[in-house]
Amino acid sequence: MQFNKMNGSTISCDVLSSFMAEKRPITIDEACALRLLLFGNTMNSFGVAWTEQSFHFRCVPPYGFIQKRAGPCGVLAAVQAFVIYELLFGVSCIDAKLGISKLKSREKKEALARALTYILWQAGDDERAVVAIKHNDIVFDASTATNILEFDGIIEYNISTIIYLKIKQEMDDPGSHLIGGDGYCSQEVINLILIGKAVPNLFDGDLELNSGGSETTLLRGIPKQSKIGLLSLYEYQETCTVGDNYKNPIYPIWILLAESHFTVLFAVSKDIFKKRKSKDTFVLYHYDGLAKQHAETIYAINPAANTSPPPKDKTLPIAIRCIYTRWPYASVETNEKEVNEDQTEASGV
């Protein structure tokens, strides 16, 4: 099997194996630097929400990851988005007419392998990839920190994406860290997975702030059109700006950011980008790994149904409010109530 890169070239398993063969134990200095980057100190560790989490698929819908507890949803949703990309638009994509809900086990596993590989190579500037795996030797003694051998797959993968440590130069505040005290990951982690850069903002390009003196502050944003997009509830609330590089991605897949929870919104065809008139309609699918979905949540969109944006309504489902930030004149119909009769709003989970 080969793994595609964004520029169209491929990487074979033989090449990956040659890199994997160059393995060595992590040093104490590297472990301390990673802990500082992750938690802001060398004593904290991942909580149970992370140590019990892996990349496991649901039966329904079969493309969706199971999220066991609140916390690692950012990493899960970002990887989930790339899995959906591989299934619908990748080099070995399925026939969307047959339905993304009818997947074979092999198709899911290959899509996951391609997604994980692409993200790691992107984080390494398309030049190299480092994979963090369990090792028999313990770097941190059990008396000073949790045994790294207890960590499950998602932790190893999260460490693999940040292990270059170059990302401190990409962050606005090099002293900040990637995992909060509540166990949720920062926006830098999401951006690192989506675009390979650990920038903290969602607007296009960089902003240079000058307070009037000789010193300026550089705020880093999204440098170019992203393969996968992102929409934010904060923009609906008018407390942040999401730029066109995320709003209009190359493929119709978006991460939805709702306070501290991340989910995925997607379409099965790029044709939705051409639909802008009042007579046009298209369908979006929403997946939340933490919710107990019994079927797909579907949104029917008419992108130009209204002559002006509808009034802000905080009682609307979070996904619909995020959709309005991308299609402000749309009408939105959904089967969400039927799918999740007992599901409550995801904010704060």
Q: Is 304 exposed, middle or buried (0-12, 13-18, 19+ CB in 10 A)?
A: middle
Is 13 designated active site? no
Per-residue b/e over 10-29, b at no fewer than 16 CB within 10 Å? ebeeeebeeeeeeeeebeee
Cα–chain center distance at 77: 4
| Strand-pair category, 229-232 with 10-12 | unpaired
Select which of 177, 261, 286, 322 is catalytic: 261
Three-class DSSP category at 186: coil
Whether 73 is a known active-site residue: answer yes
| Dist. CA 160–CA 164, nearest whole Å | 8
Provide the 3-class DSSP secondary structure of residue 108: helix
Could you tell me which residues are beta bridge partners of residue 232?
257
Distance of alpha carbon 349 from alpha carbon 49, whole angstroms: 12
Measured between alpha carbons, how far is 197 from 91 in angstroms, rounded to an integer?
Answer: 24
| Virtual torsion, Cα 316, 319, 270, 310, nearest 10 deg | 30
Q: Take residue 17 and report the two structure tokens written for it.
A: 């194996």
Residue 310: Cβ within 10 Å count: 14
* Single-letter amino acid, residue 77: A
Q: CA nearest 323: which of 261, 251, 236?
A: 236
Q: Phi/psi at 324 (nearest 5 deg)?
A: -65, -25
- Residue 105 has φ and ψ, to the nearest 5°, of -60, -40
| Selected catalytic residue, list 73, 177, 185, 286 | 73
Residues with active-site annotation? 73, 261
